[in-house]
Amino acid sequence: MGLFDEIKKKLSHEFIDIVEWLDNTNDTIVHRFERYQNEIKNNAKLIVREGQVAVFINEGTLADVFSPGTYDLNTQNLPVLTTLKGWKYGFNSPFKAEVYFVNTTLFTDEKWGTKNPFILSDERFGLVELRAFGTYSFRISDPGKFVVDVVGTDGNFTNYEVNEHLKSLIVTRFTDTVGEANLPIELYAANTTELSETCQEVMQPEFGRVGIELEKFYIENVSMPEELKKEIFEYSRLDKLDMTKLAQFKAAKAMEAAAKNEGGTAGAGMGMGMGFVLAQQMGGMMNPQAPQQAFGAPQHTATPPPMPTQVMYHYASNGQQMGPVSIDKLRELFASRTINKEALVWKQGMQNWMALKDVEELKSFLGGNTPPPLPTV
């Protein structure tokens, strides 16, 4: 071997490049290896560490992709680039190519959330506004596709940049999935696990189109306005109640309150009477098999019938339903011409509304039932 060959061999070993990337950040996804005019020497060493993939781009075209390992960059290890360049028997040093190192580790605890409330239609509560937020994890599954379709010529592509793209996709698909689930509105917050799994299945194909794998997707909270929460809680309680008993209880409370508002000794007496009746009725509800006893009566005494209740009337005024009022109050309304004989009235037991003049017990309002004078002797 001549002197010139020895010098050439020495220089080739002395100036062999090492192409590698040591990541000292926590948010870099793609890093472009910088070389002057992108020139890489023949037989340069390529070192790809675990959690990395090296992607070679030649004149904007995806060439070779290297998984973790150490490689000598020559025609044997660059088959695609060799084909693109037309190298048949080797290539001269240096050669040009862009090298992108892609971080393939799992990126965890990424945040997502709806910036604005989204609207759903519920059969019971109508249109409602919801908000949601959570976390997700992802990794780069197809580095070549990701570099070509997402990164482009960005020399340092960070986690923040990809998250801005992914968040918009997540919110759009999440809203569609929730709308198609058609669950009762109160069940969204109670079924976040099942809903999270469904959303992940729906979103994965969208992520895969750009070389990303959605590893995990979590919905941490689905929130709604406070007034809607109160309506849902009230509805759930009413749904569990015996509505007949609830109506009886509310009627009894209303009667007791009316008695207290009368004032004076008579009002006090009526309030006590209503209280006794209420106690007996509630006792009957709680124990329908037990015979009811009159207040202060011996145990063997038969229970007296309940006190008679006053007949109450509803009436129509200016197209509005009013009442209920007692017959005395109805007489006052008629006398003050608030209502007339054609006014529609209704009481419990009547099938339909009737004109006041056609109700037997109200005809006395009209003054036509005055008896004739007594005969003279």
The 10s digit of each residue's pLDDT in 261-310 is 655 444 444 444 444 444 455 455 445 554 545 444 455 556 777 766 78
Q: Give a yes or no: residue 117 inside a domain.
A: yes
Examine the pLDDT at 19 and tell me if it is beyond 60: yes
> Is 40 part of a structural domain of the chain?
yes
Q: How far is 285 from 295, CA to CA, in rounded Å? A: 17
Q: Are residues 114 and 211 in the same domain?
A: yes
What is the average per-residue pLDDT within 358-367? Answer: 84
pLDDT given at position 105: 92
Q: Are residues 92 and 20 in the same domain?
A: yes
**Hey, what are 311's tokens?**
């007949």
**Same domain, yes or no: 34 and 130:** no
Structural domain includes residue 289:
no
Asked if 143 and 192 sit in the same domain, the reply is yes
Provide the CATH number for the domain around residue 169: 3.30.479.30
Report in angstroms the alpha-carbon separations of 296 from 256, 276, 346.
Answer: 21, 11, 38
Residue 297 placed within a domain: no
Between residues 342 and 263, the one the model is more confident about: 342
Q: Is the peptide bond before 94 cis (omega within 30 degrees of 0)?
A: yes
Query: Which 3 state secondary structure label does DSSP give 176?
Result: helix
Q: Are residues 81 and 116 in the same domain?
A: no
Q: Determine, yes or no, domain membership for 376.
A: no
Residue 140 — pLDDT band, cuts 50, 70, 90?
Answer: very high
Q: Are residues 34 and 96 in the same domain?
A: yes
* Number of domains, the chain: 4
Q: What is the pLDDT of residue 104?
A: 93
In a domain, 67, yes or no: yes
Which residues on neighbouring strands pair with residue 354, listed in sequence order?
345
CA distance 107 to 91: 39
Of the listed ranges 42-51, 64-73, 304-313, the one predicted with least confidence: 304-313
What are residue 354's phi and psi, to 5 degrees?
Answer: -135, 155
Q: Indicate the average pLDDT of the chain.
A: 78
In a domain, residue 288? The reply is no
> Domain range holding 185?
107-224
**Number of C-beta neighbours around residue 54 at 10 A:** 24
Neighbour tally for 49: CB within 10 Å: 14
Specify the pLDDT at position 50. 94
Shared domain for 175 and 195, answered yes or no, is yes
Q: What six digits make up the tokens of 323?
A: 């009442």
* Residue 132 and residue 94 share a domain: no
* Residue 87: per-residue pLDDT: 75
Give yes or no: residues 35 and 97 share one domain. yes
CA distance 27 to 124: 46
pLDDT score for 370: 55
pLDDT at 103: 94
- Asked if residue 212 and residue 321 are part of one domain, the reply reads no
Among 22-26, 132-136, 183-187, the range scoring the smallest mean pLDDT is: 183-187
Amino acid 268: pLDDT: 46
pLDDT in the model for residue 13: 45
Range with lowest mean pLDDT among 173-187, 205-219, 330-344: 173-187
Q: How confident is the model at residue 222 (pLDDT cuts 50, 70, 90)?
A: confident
**pLDDT at residue number 106:** 92
Domain annotation covers residue 286: no
Tell me, yes or no, whether 111 and 220 share the same domain.
Answer: yes
Q: How confident is the model at residue 371 (pLDDT cuts 50, 70, 90)?
A: low
- Give the 3-state secondary structure of 23-89: CCCCCEEEEEECCHHHEECCCCEEEECCCEEEEEEECCEEEEEECCEEEECCCCCCHHHHHHHCCCC
The CA distance from 294 to 289, in Å, is: 16
Q: Is 201 helix (H, G, I), strand (E, B) or coil?
A: helix
pLDDT, tens digit, 9 for 90 and up, residues 158-209: 888 888 878 888 888 888 888 777 777 767 777 788 888 988 998 999 899 9
pLDDT number for residue 65: 94
Mean pLDDT confidence for 141-161: 86
For residue 139, the model assigns a pLDDT of 93
pTM, full prediction: 0.54
Weakest mean pLDDT among 284-298, 309-323, 331-345: 284-298
CA–CA separation, 112 and 273 (whole Å): 63
Residue 267: per-residue pLDDT: 47
Residue 209 sits in the same domain as residue 241: no
Closest to 102 in 3D by CA, of 58, 61, 49, 59: 49
Could you count the other beta carbons within 10 Å of the beta carbon of residue 145? 17
The predicted pLDDT at position 216 comes to 92
Residue 138, pLDDT above cutoff 80: yes
